[in-house]
Structure 1
Amino acid sequence: MHRFSAPLAALVLAACAAQPRPAPPAAAPAPPVATAEPQPAPLSALVDAVSIPYEKFTLANGLTVLVHTDRKAPIVGVTTYYRVGSKNEPKGRTGFAHLYEHLFFGGSENVPSFDVPLEGAGSTPTNGSTWYDRTNYVETVPTGALDRALMMEADRMGHLLGAVTQAKLDKQRGVVQNEKRQGDNQPYGLAEYAIGEGLFPVGHPYRHSTIGSMADLDAATLADVRAWFRDHYAPNNVVLALTGDIDAATARPLVEKWFGAIPAGPPVSPVAAAPVTLPAPASRDMADQVPTLRLTRNWSGPGLNDADGPALMVGMDVLGGLASSRLDNALVRGQQIAVAVTASAQQFEAVSQLQASMDVKPGVDRARAEAALDAVIARLVAEGPTADEVRRSATRLASAQIGALEQVGGFSGKGATLAEGQLYSGDPEKFRRDLAAIAALTPTQVQAALAKWLGRPAFALAVVPGTRTEKGEQMGGWGDEGAAPPRPKDPKKPVSAVKQGPKRAIPEVAPVGDLAFPALERAALSNGVAVTLARRTAVPKVLVSISFDAGTAADRLDAPGTQGAMLALLDEGTATRDATRIAEDQERLGATISAQAGLDSSVVTLDALTANLSPSLALMADLVRNPAFRAEDVARVRDQRLSELAQAEASPGALAWRTLAPLLFGPDHPYGLPADGLGTASAVSALTPEALAAAHARWLRPDLARITVVGDVTMDRLLPLLEQAFGAWTAPAAPPPAKPLTAPIPAPAARILVLDRPNSPQSYILAGRVLPLTGRDQNHEALDLANEVLGNGFLSRLNLDLREDKGWSYGVRSAISSPVGQRSFSLAAPVQADRTGDAIRLLLADIAAFPAARPVTPDERTRVTDGNIRGLPNRYETNAQVLQAIVANQRLGRPDDYVTTLPARYRAIDAAALDAAARSWLGPQGLTFVVVGDRKVIAPQLTGLGLPITYAPAPGG
């Protein structure tokens, strides 16, 4: 992808042992919530609700355009699909489609930077991705910026090569190679390569990975770039989808204006590819630095247009996709020999990859695990699913598709759905045909498809804990590199200049209307629980959030990991339901109930279909109010949490975040505990049903609760349902507990801690410092915008320097956390191992320069102020985005109109305010660094930094 995906959550706080304190007196058990069998809406009605009306036209040059009108917000999704992906790459050129996608953002003949004009116009996201069958580019822009977005897409479609230089190619080559290193560096990161090699013979278009091989990336030349562009990037090989505040009558002249003069090119040649039946079962063991044995079974299957596609999707869902799947019921809940299972049918244009996997519980005999996994698969293949299993899977898939209708653009919104149907099947409504086929499936049809495709020999890959001996840089290519075409003797040989086309100006952005944030309605249940509703009718779904004043910070009064484990057990059993029944009831309703602990809050969220809201709320209430904490459920979840903890400590990024927090906040502060909720191995191992029940009584109580609802429901209908579910819920007699957020925090200390993780092709650099501010302090928008200039965003200084200029990283991010208590500044930079020291020096220099040597520029100020103002409608497009904003405002004491006042707040922030915020809060002084990587590579690079350095082994390292 063009963008990096290195999420920076709120600062993850590492673990310190804490002695559990006596629990307060528990409240009297709540009366069981009625658990009558849910009566969901008919599946046919759900399928009928999935619709994306569109108009279609084709330009004379072959460009296919799809237009869908959705006036809920003044935004337009611009989604462009090119009929070229990694399956089109010849021998010796693997990874080239993806490399070219990166070059596509480097500027065209009339657009020096693709990102700057769009982000200044308020585009979110601006991104691209490459896969086997296609390369796509997405941006969602304010309606007033559509002319600009179309001009820019057209300019790089028709006028790119004159702006592509050797320097740009070299820099993006470095970025892509670091993207590859970043993926390879993860636990199980080499498995994808092994699966492609095991399923397909050398030369099969789906054998090599999209990221490609290091050697092929090194060999790419400017001549290759030009040939790839001319062979594939022509309008007749493109589907353009415009979705949102647009109609075909308006769209057509705009598209003709910008794209009409681009000449057609050669059609992309069809690629011969088909599923492969292995002559006999095959297996491979791959040693990796992982804590858990992972067993997989893999088959190639038919392409997405095959008649068996819907049946295989449902069959694999029943096997290991549903929460009540066969693998879950048999191996996780039943025999309890697995800590995680999955199964899926990943469908591509010409083939699919069918996979079942099992993470084996530590201590379980491998032969026993293998036999059990194979037995579950064999039984489903032989007997097929039940009618109820098929219906539950179909309902879940329909509910997910309805949810996807909220977004007009992006990688999974309505534009992408229409474009993929047109590109792969010649039918933008392919998604509707698939859902209709799924809804009509019988168990016999599913069983027949499973028997046909899973009855063939499987490729079994086992990722075994141990020392990694295989190297990712040597994987991902064609597979017979010894017979590859000769590498160019001079890959940087100059090429003749490209004649450039006529000059065209980037259009101005038309005025953007004010954000229309939904009005909030307020009420209270009879027990005093506050209820807030934001009504939105774009899709027939409702989000219900119950937020408790707890979070991982509450573990300071319990033991590390208590809150997360307690929340994980809510759907494992109640007084009247077991885990399987809970999972099945959610699936029948097309509902999802999740629970998680943030830093300050513990939140239970219901995602429900409006038609099934009443029984979904009843189920949610049963989980929240009546968890059973049975000993056998606690033991099973405890094992799963320990496995998740081990996996986190094996992941460079997760380990760094867990390590940094105690260094910043110290052993006594609630934020000095792991905010991932996983706690410590010793604390989680000691958790008992009694301790978890006490934590539930202490923290999940109505006087610490607030209910927020967003979606397609009125208060008149909602309030009686909430009253029935939660109104009789009474608080314990003991007063609510208070988290010690004022506990002392160590003074910031500049230092480096290196966690030695051998065989790491990248180093994960993380740094942080606690700020003398709290999340409840108001009027700090200048700090947030200054952080965007420095490191929070693709165009930030840190990212542009380390990624776009140096090519040492796939992405750098800085963040300012916003908890109730003290905020923190952090930055994360995964970099190639041999540039670790250089990267730290550069980070410190860039931070120190803002604003002393490099005050904010007019262009930077305009980008972060105008871009944020214009992008507000994009940021509150979905129910989840609106819910998140309302809950954040409530937690931080902001007024209800906070979001709608942001434009005025941003306009009032001048360059001096941005510089002052950077000077006060974003300097390099006192930064604590945690570096996870290979000590023997890192240590020589850190000399001369002037910071005290400590070395320690990484867990399991």
Structure 2
Amino acid sequence: MKKRLALLAAGLLAMAGGALADTAEVPGIAFTRFQLPNGLTVIVHEDHKAPVVAVSIWYHIGSADEPAHKTGFAHLFEHLMFSGSENHKGTYFQPFEVAGATDMNGTTWFDRTNYFETVPTTALDMALWMESDRMGHLLGAIGQKELDTQRGVVQNEKRQDENEPYGRVDENVLANVYPANHPYHHDTIGSMADLDAASLADVKQWFHDNYGAANTTLVLAGDITPEQARAKAETYFGDIPAGPPVPRQQPWVLPLTTDTRSVQHDQVAQTRIVRTWVVPQLGTDDAVQLDLATTVLGGGKTSRLYQRLVYQDKLADDVSVGLSPFALSSRVQLTVDVKQGVDPARVEAAVAQVWNDFLANGPADDELARAKVANRAGFIRGLEKVSGKAAILAEGQVYRNDPGAYRKDLDRSERATAASVLAASKKWLGKGSYTLTVMPAGPGFDPAAEDKAVVGRPAADGRPAPVLPPAGHYTVATSTVDRALGVPKVTSFPSLSFPGLQRGKLRNGIEVVLAERHTIPVTQVQILFDAGYAADQGRKLGTASFTSTLLNESTADLDSVDIARRKERLGAMIGSSCSLDTCAVALNALNSELGPSLDLFADVVRHPAFKAADIERVRGQWIAGIAQEKTDPTSIALRTLPPLLYGKAHAYGIPFTGSGTEKAIASLNAGDLKAFQHDYLRPDNARILVAGDTTLAQILPRLDAAFGDWTSPPGTIPAKNIGTVAAQAKPRVFLVNRTDAPQSLILAGLLAPSTKAKNAIDLGIANAAFGGTFTSRLNMNLREQKRWAYGAGSMLSDAKGQRPMLFYAPVQTDKTAPSAEEILKEIRAVIGPKPLTDAEIAKVQAQRVRALPGSFETTASVLSALSGIVIYDRPDDYVQTLKARIDGVNRGSAEAALSAVMHPGSLTWVIVGDLRKIEAPVRALNLGEVQVIDGDGDPVKASR
């Protein structure tokens, strides 16, 4: 496999006059497919690079199959499938956590429900036992309590989604682009009323009708052979009945005949235009052609609409066009964030001109070639994770009865011509569409009343009847599994395989650290600077991130669009960003184009131009982004809490979004950016990290050619004030109003020792047991027991200095005060009468140690570990010795680490919600002195 991909990549991106070279071969994911006598389809893909197996199980049932007045039922049932089974009582996550599973979850969409996890090879029997137990032995474990619990969780998930800016858009769009009798007319999460009406009888009938073996596809991808897979599938699934045949919804593509529109209001800072077209379903030739068309129209900086609206006319801060492919019908959607003060009608007029020109003339050859490169490069990068390959195979089987269907789409994309893309675009993108304009809400905004007034598209004639699959003659085997023995024990685990680090130096002294990873023909390079948001101290807030972003805009010889086009032609990804303590510029390059990609990368890093036009364009986008942050509950809390925790004189006493303030960004100029570059983005403050398909002998000369003659400017690197902050003398509560919010966001913080502290692992394990895993105390309390939140937890952010320990819970509005009270109770209990137990500590230790073999499957994950080693001064063998460090934690050391940090009397609370409903109950709790602040953290008059 590796040789085939390497050969493919070598020829993939050879450019001749800007056109993509002919490439006949499509990347392959080898698979074996068979069916058990009970109808279960099994697909196996061998990939022995890591001792893990991805288990992906897809049921061909989704929200499109829900009967009238039962919207949201498929998704609710997905949640119920995590509540336990007849032979495993309690949450489904527990056995997987102690076995070291990664990538574990379940999702529901229009046409399917899937469950997945990646487990150590030695835990595969446990995983298959668990999946088969809930497939074949569920109903006895589902009662009214379980239904009520998950119903509450799902309803809070819905509230959480709607509490985000633009969170009500999808429901409105679906209702208006699909007829009332179309399977896609309603969104997957459903309505509150229908969720309330779901009964236990409904649950059991849904399971009986849709969760049989013959309606299911099981994919095993990773360290396994087809022979092993067949034997295990027969053992664990062979006795499960096929189930009744499930009618298949049929494609129904019904474009709008005219252009329709409506307006929605929301707690947003910026008008957004969302325009949608109905187009053919996935697997059709037209869908592939339209995917290429949308890339040309709105697939990034070089796209036509971005060029016109953002660069040329300066009417928008962002614009995108994309295809969302589904089994019955797809959508093309245009999204425009309108620049402040611009009339949306002007934006729509400019869009129409670009759109009509495209429909008249189609894409240019170079535009189409770059779109094809993006498709293929993305596919190659997606081959690293076995879970990703499992999903590709499952999707092909479930939707198209062909695990290799992706090949057809890649071939179609490669064969596409400007004429074929134009023909499909004329056919579908010249038809009617639905435009939803989302505008900032004014006083008296009533989202419920506005949503209730949505009429939607009326029912239409001609809906095709569902079709039963071909009749099968299914039989079941006699089970050899004694399920009364419970979940199989996992008694052995594979060893971690992590590349040894290699070090070298460029001729100017820049250190290079390499971790070889020969999986796909890709090399990743990161230049790491000791800077970060903390380097904003004494400067205008947001300088670090703003400067980092401008690096990727233009150089002395290339403008912003030139850079973007070169990246697309090379299939390269170049990005720059900052975190709390560091800034980094990163390259992800296909090995076939590594030389020119490194040349472009070096130009971006070394010769940023900081052109006035780029600064002004990005400034407008940045200020709009800050305004949007102030409408998002989580961003509001992350902006306001750190200055309260650290004090504004500390380097960390800044908004943790890193975006700064509107006033500071408005005043930034090229001189500020050049000064930051001079002080921090320099070779004597840089280290180069490399991970991927290369060797030190190969990469060092290339890096030396690109960066070896880079000289440091005069002057010293400024010191950052990362001093020690004393714990707060008394608790404080800060309230931020968000009128009509369906939920409240609770964020409370304390200060913990640095990530570099000797007991950092002890504290991390204690925190995980308290609030850092699904089965942690905090999540089980607020989600599973109280069902007041979709999720709750605690987290420790990495930092060179004191790091924040945060307690996080988005909760339904009427449970704001009780939830804060529960968080405080849990904190007091864990350092008082109810300390962490040996079992809780052991559970987290087991999870972390056993997850190690599957945690470094990708080059990106290896590079991330490499960054941690460099930033926090860890030994080169840190990952290899992590098991011993984790095993060395005991209850005493974990308790000591937690008790040293968790002081209830020092808590700083930020609660974002509708103060008309939450302020009085929160004040009544007496959590601490209460003050009302705005989104900038400044005091405001207390509400009545």
TM-score by length of 2: 0.93
SS of the aligned residue for 2:181 comes to coil
The equivalent residue for 1:850 is 830
1:482-531 per-residue CA deviation (whole Å, 9 max, x = no partner) reads 9xxxxxxxxxxxxxxxxx99635211114112211111111111111110
Moved over 4 A (4+): 37-47, 472-482, 743-746, 953-957
C-alpha distance in 2 between matches for 1:627 and 1:223:
65
The equivalent residue for 1:551 is 532
C-alpha contact (below 8 Å) 1:193/1:476 kept by paired residues: no
SS of the aligned residue for 1:713 comes to coil
C-alpha distance in 2 between matches for 1:512 and 1:44:
46
Q: Is it true that 1:271 corresponds to 2:249 in the alignment?
A: yes
Deviation, structure 1 residue 38: 7.5
The equivalent residue for 1:753 is 734
SS of the aligned residue for 1:557 comes to coil
The equivalent residue for 2:806 is 826
Give the CA RMSD over aligned residues: 2.2
Q: 2:389 aligns with which of 380, 402, 414?
A: 414
Matched-pair identity in %: 43
The equivalent residue for 2:336 is 358
C-alpha contact (below 8 Å) 2:179/2:458 kept by paired residues: no
1:423-465 per-residue CA deviation (whole Å, 9 max, x = no partner) reads 1111111112211211221111111111111100111110011
User: One-letter code of the match for 2:225?
Assistant: D
C-alpha distance in 2 between matches for 1:322 and 1:128:
31
C-alpha distance in 2 between matches for 1:477 and 1:272:
27
Q: 1:173 aligns with which of 122, 146, 151?
A: 151
C-alpha contact (below 8 Å) 1:666/1:746 kept by paired residues: no
- Rate the CA distance shift 1:742–1:851 in 2: closer, same or farther, 3 A: closer
- Rate the CA distance shift 1:840–1:457 in 2: closer, same or farther, 3 A: same
Q: 1:433 aligns with which of 408, 427, 431?
A: 408
- Rate the CA distance shift 1:928–1:249 in 2: closer, same or farther, 3 A: same
C-alpha contact (below 8 Å) 1:320/1:341 kept by paired residues: yes
Q: 2:704 aligns with which of 723, 728, 739?
A: 723
1:735-774 per-residue CA deviation (whole Å, 9 max, x = no partner) reads 1121121275673541111101100000000010112x22
Deviation, structure 1 residue 857: 2.9
The equivalent residue for 1:576 is 557
C-alpha distance in 2 between matches for 1:531 and 1:419:
40
Deviation, structure 1 residue 44: 6.2
For residues 801-880 of structure 1, the aligned pairs below 5 Å read 801-880=781-860
Deviation, structure 1 residue 780: 2.4
1:61-96 per-residue CA deviation (whole Å, 9 max, x = no partner) reads 111111111111110000011101100011110000
The equivalent residue for 2:83 is 106
Q: 2:875 aligns with which of 895, 903, 910?
A: 895
- Rate the CA distance shift 1:472–1:303 in 2: closer, same or farther, 3 A: farther
The equivalent residue for 1:736 is 717
User: One-letter code of the match for 1:328?
Assistant: Y
- Rate the CA distance shift 1:278–1:192 in 2: closer, same or farther, 3 A: same
C-alpha distance in 2 between matches for 1:477 and 1:206:
16
Deviation, structure 1 residue 859: 3.1
The equivalent residue for 1:632 is 613
- Rate the CA distance shift 1:478–1:610 in 2: closer, same or farther, 3 A: farther
C-alpha distance in 1 between matches for 2:927 and 2:413:
63
Deviation, structure 1 residue 471: 2.2
C-alpha distance in 1 between matches for 2:301 and 2:569:
12
Q: 1:299 aligns with which of 264, 268, 277?
A: 277
- Rate the CA distance shift 1:46–1:514 in 2: closer, same or farther, 3 A: farther
C-alpha contact (below 8 Å) 1:665/1:671 kept by paired residues: yes
C-alpha contact (below 8 Å) 1:184/1:472 kept by paired residues: no
C-alpha distance in 1 between matches for 2:358 and 2:605:
34
C-alpha contact (below 8 Å) 1:108/1:161 kept by paired residues: yes
Q: Is it true that 1:200 corresponds to 2:185 in the alignment?
A: no
Stretch moving more, 164-173 or 911-920: 911-920
C-alpha distance in 2 between matches for 1:818 and 1:425:
45
SS of the aligned residue for 2:652 comes to helix
Q: 1:89 aligns with which of 42, 66, 78?
A: 66
C-alpha contact (below 8 Å) 2:26/2:410 kept by paired residues: no
1:337-362 per-residue CA deviation (whole Å, 9 max, x = no partner) reads 11011110000011111111111111
User: One-letter code of the match for 2:421?
Assistant: V
Q: 1:77 aligns with which of 54, 57, 60?
A: 54
1:203-236 per-residue CA deviation (whole Å, 9 max, x = no partner) reads 2100100010000000001000001001110111
- Rate the CA distance shift 1:49–1:274 in 2: closer, same or farther, 3 A: closer
C-alpha contact (below 8 Å) 1:314/1:446 kept by paired residues: yes
The equivalent residue for 2:28 is 51
- Rate the CA distance shift 1:787–1:49 in 2: closer, same or farther, 3 A: farther
Q: 2:892 aligns with which of 895, 912, 936?
A: 912
C-alpha distance in 1 between matches for 2:523 and 2:262:
46
The equivalent residue for 1:767 is 748
Q: 1:397 aligns with which of 375, 384, 396?
A: 375
The equivalent residue for 2:438 is 463
User: One-letter code of the match for 1:106?
Assistant: S
SS of the aligned residue for 1:734 comes to coil
C-alpha distance in 1 between matches for 2:251 and 2:917:
42
1:127-159 per-residue CA deviation (whole Å, 9 max, x = no partner) reads 100000110101000000000000100000000
Q: 2:288 aligns with which of 299, 310, 328?
A: 310
Deviation, structure 1 residue 940: 2.5
Q: 2:258 aligns with which of 262, 276, 280?
A: 280
C-alpha distance in 2 between matches for 1:297 and 1:478:
18
The equivalent residue for 1:251 is 229
The equivalent residue for 2:596 is 615
Deviation, structure 1 residue 853: 2.0
User: One-letter code of the match for 2:277?
Assistant: W
C-alpha contact (below 8 Å) 2:44/2:219 kept by paired residues: yes
Q: 2:668 aligns with which of 676, 687, 699?
A: 687
C-alpha distance in 2 between matches for 1:712 and 1:40:
28
Q: 1:778 aligns with which of 758, 762, 779?
A: 758
For residues 163-242 of structure 1, the aligned pairs below 5 Å read 163-242=141-220
C-alpha distance in 2 between matches for 1:568 and 1:951:
34
C-alpha distance in 1 between matches for 2:537 and 2:17:
42
The equivalent residue for 1:446 is 421
C-alpha contact (below 8 Å) 2:209/2:246 kept by paired residues: yes
C-alpha distance in 2 between matches for 1:369 and 1:815:
42
The equivalent residue for 1:566 is 547
Q: 1:525 aligns with which of 488, 506, 512?
A: 506
Q: Is it true that 1:68 corresponds to 2:45 in the alignment?
A: yes
What are structure 1's unaligned runs of at least 5 residues?
1-36, 483-499
SS of the aligned residue for 1:791 comes to helix
For residues 76-155 of structure 1, the aligned pairs below 5 Å read 76-112=53-89, 113-155=91-133
What are structure 2's unaligned runs of at least 5 residues?
1-13, 460-480
SS of the aligned residue for 2:264 comes to strand
C-alpha distance in 1 between matches for 2:136 and 2:680:
60
C-alpha contact (below 8 Å) 1:303/1:351 kept by paired residues: yes
SS of the aligned residue for 1:629 comes to coil
C-alpha distance in 2 between matches for 1:875 and 1:414:
16
SS of the aligned residue for 2:679 comes to helix
1:851-896 per-residue CA deviation (whole Å, 9 max, x = no partner) reads 4222223432221011111101111111111111111111111101
The equivalent residue for 1:503 is 484
C-alpha distance in 1 between matches for 2:803 and 2:532:
16
C-alpha distance in 2 between matches for 1:264 and 1:503:
23
C-alpha distance in 2 between matches for 1:451 and 1:610:
38
Deviation, structure 1 residue 403: 1.1
The equivalent residue for 2:622 is 641
